[in-house]
């Protein structure tokens, strides 16, 4: 089966450009240097799903012309990955149905804390309608034809889920990955992995660490995401990379098999 992924956002928690920054990256006119908060759309079984719905979720849905959305998979509970949940209301209204949300117990607790009005059993008609599906490291089915394999990584001390879909995998906010989790990535053709910048960071892969992980997994192609303005311009980053590795950018489309 053929699927498609679209990078909705390839930037950090603050996005690129940053507020009140006039560096050469934030001042760049290259659209590939305009990076919304990290998120991915993927299309399987004629249905659209999103991985993470951060503060730019509304803008991302409008920009990618996503008129229908079946569900959201959350990687973890940080605000730059969950803050846009309220905007699923538009899909609730259009299709008169709930939004399926797939997340860990930790993310569920954060959603109930940050969006308490969604879960307080109030019948007010304007609140988002969502249906929670609790997930962990165990593979689960989106449909009869599509299996999702979660990949648990560590974002400093916080567990974060990446996701493998057929021969494609998406991982963000990783600093360390246990062998039993990285083994789940054997045989993939395409990997999207976070690489904040070149310097060491407490909770994210830097370039050296991301390239080492790519070398371990050996995908045919790899793309870097969650990119900071400190990394440099898109073309400058590309010049640092081996032939099969590319900086992701907002709007990048990737075909994969599942």
Residue-by-residue DSSP string for 51-118: E---TTHHHHHHHTT-----EEE-S---HHHHTTGGGGHHHHHHHTS-EEEEE-HHHHHHHHHHTHHH
Helices of type H across the chain: 57-63, 79-82, 89-95, 105-114, 116-119, 179-182, 207-217, 234-238
Pairing of strands 158-165, 168-170: antiparallel
Domain encompassing residue 155:
2-19+37-246
Q: For residue 209, what pLDDT is reported? A: 98
Location of structure tokens 């648990």: 152
Q: What is the CATH number of the domain that holds 181?
A: 3.60.15.10
Coil vs helix vs strand at 33: helix
- Structural domain includes residue 258: no
Q: What is the pLDDT along the chain (258 residues), one digit of tens a residue?
A: 999 999 999 999 999 999 999 999 999 999 999 999 999 999 999 999 999 999 999 999 999 999 999 999 999 999 999 999 999 999 999 999 999 999 999 999 999 999 999 999 887 888 999 999 999 999 999 988 999 999 999 999 999 999 999 999 999 999 999 999 999 999 999 999 999 999 999 999 999 999 999 999 999 999 999 999 999 999 999 999 999 999 999 999 999 999
User: Is 38 in a helix, a strand, or coil?
Assistant: coil
Residue 20 corresponds to which tokens in the numbers above? 């009140």
Alpha carbons within 13 A on the beta-carbon side of 59: 15
Residue 251 in any domain: the answer is no
Assigned domain for 30 exists: no
* Count of domains forming the chain: 1
CA distance 211 to 256: 21
- Inside any domain, residue 87: yes
Does some domain include residue 257? no
Structural domain includes residue 254:
no
Among residues 222, 204, 210, the alpha carbon closest in space to that of 167 is found at: 222
d(CA 45, CA 24): 42
* Domain contains 201: yes
Q: What global pTM score does this model have? A: 0.97
Asked if omega into 17 is within 30° of 0 (cis), the reply is yes
Question: What's the pLDDT score for residue 253?
Answer: 98
Q: Which run of H or of E encompasses 150?
A: strand 147-155
How far apart are the C-alpha atoms of 104 and 126, rounded to whole Å? 26
What is the pLDDT, as a whole number, of residue 123?
78
């Amino acid at each position: 089966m053929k699927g498609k992924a679209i990078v909705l956002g390839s930037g950090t928690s603050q996005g690129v450009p940053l507020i009140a920054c006039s560096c050469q990256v934030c001042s760049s006119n290259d659209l590939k240097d305009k990076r919304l908060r990290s998120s991915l759309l993927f299309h399987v079984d004629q249905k659209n799903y999103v991985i993470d719905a951060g503060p730019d979720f509304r803008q991302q849905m409008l920009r990618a012309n996503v008129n229908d959305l079946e569900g959201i998979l959350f990687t973890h509970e940080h605000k730059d990955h969950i803050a846009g949940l309220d905007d699923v209301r538009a899909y609730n209204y259009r299709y008169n149905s709930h939004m399926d949300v797939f997340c860990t117990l930790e993310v569920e607790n954060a959603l109930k804390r940050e969006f308490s009005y969604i879960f307080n059993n109030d019948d007010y008609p304007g609140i988002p309608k969502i249906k929670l599906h609790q997930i962990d490291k165990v593979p689960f089915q989106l449909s009869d034809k599509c299996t999702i394999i979660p990949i648990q990584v560590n974002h400093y001390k916080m567990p974060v889920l990446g996701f493998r879909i057929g021969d494609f995998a998406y991982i963000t906010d990783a600093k360390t990955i246990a062998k039993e989790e990285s083994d789940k990535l054997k045989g993939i053709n395409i990997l999207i992995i976070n690489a904040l910048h070149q310097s060491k960071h407490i909770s994210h892969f830097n370039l050296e660490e991301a390239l080492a992980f790519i070398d371990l997994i050996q995908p045919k192609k790899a793309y870097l995401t969650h990119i900071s303005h400190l990394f440099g311009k898109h073309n400058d980053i590309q010049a640092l990379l081996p032939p099969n590795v590319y900086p992701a950018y907002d709007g990048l489309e990737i075909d994969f098999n599942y």
